[in-house]
Every structure is written in C-alpha cells, then in structure tokens.
Chains A and B, each alone.
Chain A
Amino acid sequence: MPAFLLKRLMQSVMLLVIVSIVGFVVLNLIPGGPMAQYALDPGMTQEDMNRLAEQLGLNRPLWVQYLDWIWRLVQGDWGTSFRDGSPVLDVIGRHVFATLLLMGSSTVIAVAVGTWIGIRGATHRYSTFDYLATVGAMIALSIPTFWFGLIGIYVFSLKLGWLPAGNMYTIGDGSVLNYLHHLIMPSTVLALVHIAIWSRFMRAATLDAISQEFVKTARAKGVGERRVILKHVVGNALLPMITLAGVQLPSLLTGALVTETVFTWPGMGRLFLDSLGYSDYPVVMGLLIFSAILTIAGNLIADIVVALVDPRIRLA
C-alpha cells in the first residue's frame, strides 16, 4: 500500500506541474500578457509601462517568471484581486462552500438515480425500460444545462410557484430548510447530465459483474436472485464507479459554473464570470489553477479509496 500511495502521489504532483505550465502559457498567450489591463489606461506612457513591467518582474525570461510564480503559488501567495485588493485565496475561499454544496448534492442525486437506472437496465436488458433509459440518457447528454435550468425556472418558479428562481437562501431566513428549498432545483438541473453518464456506466459495470463466475457460484448455492444482485453484483459494479466519480469532476465543475449563473448561486462559477467581467486576472488565474487542483485531488482520492476497498489493485 505505501508503495502504491507514493507512486500515485508522485503522478499527481507531476500532473500539477504540467497543469501549472499549461495555465502559465494560457496567461501569457493573452495579447499584452499580465499587463493587458494597464495597457487600457490612457494615462499610461510607454515609460510607465516599462517601469511597471520591471517592478512586476515581467522583463525577466519567461522561465524565471514561471519559477517565481509557481514558488509563490506553493507558498500560498496567489496574488491580490484587482477588484477589492484582498488576497486571491481568501476571495476563492469565500465562494468554495456554495459550489461544493451544489456539486455535493447533485452528485448524491446523480448517484442514487443513476445507479438505480443502471442496475434496472442491466437486470432487465433489452426491455422497454432499458431502451427508454438508453435513449433518454443520450437526449439528457444533449440538453444544454442552462436551458434545462431556464425551463425549470419557467415551470416551477414562474408558473407553479413551488421553488425559488435563484439565490442560496432568503435574506433574513438562514434555516436549513430554506437552504434546502433553494438547493432543489439547481442541484437537480446540474445532476441531469451526470444521471445519464452514471446510469450508462453503471449498466455496463453491472452487466460485466453479472457474467462473472462468482455470481454463477452464488446462484448455484441457491442464493436468492435479489440477494445475488444487491450483494454480489452491485458491490462489484460500484467499484469502477468510484473512479468515474473522480473523472467526472471537471465536467461537474463546468456544469456548476453554468448552473450558478442561471440560478444566481454565489459560488466559484459566478465568481469566475464576474472576475472575467472586471478583467480581474489574478482571480481568474487563481480559479483556473484551483479548479485543476480540485480535479487532480479528486482523482487521487478516488484512486486511494478504490485501492482501500479492493485489495487486487494495491497488490498489482
């Protein structure tokens, strides 16, 4: 186990380095680079620009700038927001909870519904249910998340008046129930695509597990069909799903950004869009790197969990 852990940890660190290089290149691809926002100021002379570039260390070779940037990143100095001058990490920190709450609740929905659809599709293969689930998943994957959100608001907020059309809570009412009431629609909207993905993979994994020898053995021993499926098949089918949960993180974050915009949810996605609007590049860069770190950490955790649950992997 320690050897496996160490190897996997090294891979993640490597990936972080690559990700930071990609991010750095993107930042410098922008015409004007990190100086872009100063160039817009009509009062700036070329002399001012040169002086500023020297102060910010932008006249050094790119690789020195990169090393300097990454060193400060590691130390927790992610720069300060152009907008209000507070440290980037603090700004991000204020928005993380809302996004994690949204992503977490929609993952719970996606896993519950997707697992059920996947297992039922596999045990009732080629049935009407299975066929509808397959076609339904393909359609669900094709619906733009924001459009689904708009339709939801139109039906459930404007026409029926059952659910709030946006925000995380009603001002002056911080009760858990109020939060939950506001959470229902955004997390369902965000979950749709992931229900589709989850059910497809769960169906494949269940079919894979059903055809294994130990299932035959269990049936031969006279174990009831319900017990075979719930205990022997599902347990094994869920294993690759842990990895899938990690792999799906970037697409979950993408969905979260769009969902947050539609439902005025005060999370990282909204922060990202607002910062783009203000050309607040330190925050934009910080969020880019932060989202990648979140993804890499998520994948690492998923792999460790799989290794803990399944001894075959850590011995291999």
Chain B
Amino acid sequence: MTTFSAVHTPSRWWQSRVMRRFMEHRLALLGLSMITLLTLACIVGPSLLPYDSLSIDLRARFAPPLSGGHYLGTDPLGRDVAARLLMAGRISLLVGFTAMLLSIVVGTVVGVIAGYQGGWINAVLMRTVDGFLSYPSIFLLLALAAALKPSPVMITVIIAVTSWMEVARIVEAEVRSLKEREFVLAGRMLGLGRAHIMFREILPNAMGPIIVAATLTVARAILLEAYVSFLGFGIQPPLPSWGNMLNGAQQYLGSAPWLAIIPGAAITIAVTSFNFIGDGLRDALDVRHDTI
C-alpha cells in the first residue's frame, strides 16, 4: 500500500482516490469480506470444531450434514467434512497465495528486463513466454506434478511455473511504454544505474497492473491446485485440500452428494471473491489491460 501513496501522494493512503473508488465498488467489498471471513474461519475454525480433520470414525461413515454434531456430514472414512474443509482451506489458500507471490516475482523480473532492455533480450524472453503459453497449462502442470513427487511446496512451485507468463506480458507492455517517459530520461541524466532505473524508478509506476494481476493470479492458482488435486496428482491425502476432497466424490455422488457439493462451493466462493476484488482494483487503479 505504501507504493500507492508514493505514486499518488495523498495525505493518508486510506483517503486516497484509489481507496475511495475501491470502497465504492460493491462487488469488490463483497469479495474482500468473503475472503476475510473464509480466511478467519480456516485459521480459527479447526480448533473450535469438536472433531479433528484426520480422526477416522468408521461407525460414522457417510453421515449426512447436520447429523450427530457433524455440521457438514462425514466422508467415506467417517472423518468430519467441516473440519477437513477448514484444514483444506488453509492449504489451498496458502498454496494459492504463495504460488501467486512466486509467479508475480518471476513475471515482474522477466517483464521489467524484457521491456526495458528491448532488442534481442526482449526477443528471447518474450518468445519463451509465448512458448510456455502455447501449452495448455493443465498438461504441463500434470506432467511436472507426476514426475516430481508432489509435496505442497513442489505443487506451489509447479503452479507458479505455469502462471508467471501473463504477468510477464502485462509488465513488459507497461514498462515498454513507461521507459519513454521524461522521468526515466531524468534518471539517466542523473547517472543512475540501469538496475536502479528499472526497479526503483519504473517498477513503482507499474504497480497498478501488477497488483490487479496478482489478485487474479491468486484466483487462478487456487483453481489450478483444485484441478491437479482433483485429478490425483496434487496435494496428497491424508493432507486435505479443496481439490483432493473432491477426488473420490464422484463415485459417491448418488449416495453422498454433499462430499462433492461442499468443497466445490468453497473453491467457487474463494475464487469468485478474488475475481471480484481484482475487478474492483482494476477500476480503482484505472488499469486498461482487460485480462479476464
């Protein structure tokens, strides 16, 4: 947030134009409050529930929601779905957020260097971006996940590997237009180093699009984690994630539909919230790029 105030120089950051416009965006506020509630529930919730996410109770298998103290029912091993859902939320949100940080860092560095240096450096970097973008992300993701013995850390890294390209493209375009501005020329005349101009002068001015991209990348990363885990190549049980809770759900669809409905609803709510926030930030920061 300090970067905003450096750019727009209001007296207090919460009084800034950007902040005001964001607060007027009803969907963004809805998203922000939903994500805050969800995060709090995932952090505090598991210790408030009477059941542990890993404790197996074979006498209470397939208990429907709201029965025997199981608010959201139990799974095929008699584990409490509510407890698992909240523990899974910790993992899914953490993986999504960390993967976003990684892809933003990689994408920004690549984008800034490519955009500022131009020439053959730009050509090599941006054509590599094109190369990665030619693969359907799930194909690349699954191939890597299957080969690299998945752990939560590895899954995070792999998701970042398949998500940094959009950010690189956005940053590259922004930096390419920013480097023609007077303040960059002024910086050069002051004898500032190339790295200083790229990362201390230009980058802060490109923060708007990067922040929007970051929000949308969290949404994308949560979805990707859900996809690989659903397909059985992501987060491995007994560790729960929203995706792997759905992994076996299809075979019990007729008898225990809540096993499929509940985790999917959690994913949809989390991802929708981040997309709403991203939309609000795009309006508030006046970002032109129409990335959906």
**B contact residues around A138 at 8 Å (CB):** 27, 272, 275-276, 279
**Is there a chain A Cβ closer than 8 Å to B127's Cβ?**
yes
**Interface readout for A249-269 with B: 1 if CB under 8 Å, 0 if not?**
111011001100110000000
**Is there a chain A Cβ closer than 8 Å to B183's Cβ?**
no
- Give A290's nearest chain B residue, CB to CB: B139
Contact of B272 among A139, A147, A197, A276 (CB under 8 A): A139
**A contact residues around B147 at 8 Å (CB):** 29-31, 36
Q: Which of A91-133 contact B (CB under 8 A)?
A: none
**Interface readout for B76-97 with A: 1 if CB under 8 Å, 0 if not?**
0000000000000000000000
User: Chain B interface residue count: which class?
Assistant: 35 or more
**B contact residues around A197 at 8 Å (CB):** 292
CA distance A315 to B279 in the complex (A): 37
Number of interface residues of A (CB under 8 A): 53
CA distance A250 to B132 in the complex (A): 11
B135 touches A144 (CB 8 A): no
CA distance A31 to B133 in the complex (A): 24
B227 touches A295 (CB 8 A): no
B227 touches A258 (CB 8 A): yes
B143 touches A284 (CB 8 A): yes
Q: Which of B144, B147, B267 has the most CB of A within 10 A?
A: B147
Q: Which stretch (A14-22, A70-78, A173-181, A226-234) binds chain B?
A: A14-22
A276 touches B144 (CB 8 A): no
Contact of A22 among B135, B148, B250, B272 (CB under 8 A): B135
Q: Which of A5-29 contact B (CB under 8 A)?
A: 14-15, 18-19, 21-23, 26, 29
Contact of B268 among A22, A143, A158, A200 (CB under 8 A): A143
**B contact residues around A200 at 8 Å (CB):** 290, 292
Given contacts A18-B130, A18-B131, A204-B290, contact A26 B253 (CB under 8 A): no
| Interface positions of B (Cβ within 8 A of A) | 27, 127-128, 130-140, 142-144, 146-148, 219, 223, 226-227, 230-231, 233, 246, 249-250, 253-254, 257, 260-261, 264, 267-268, 271-272, 274-276, 279, 290, 292
| Interface positions of A (Cβ within 8 A of B) | 14-15, 18-19, 21-23, 26, 29-31, 36, 135, 137-139, 141-147, 150-151, 153-154, 158, 196-197, 200-201, 204, 249-251, 253-254, 257-258, 261-262, 272-273, 276, 279, 284, 287-288, 291-292, 295-296
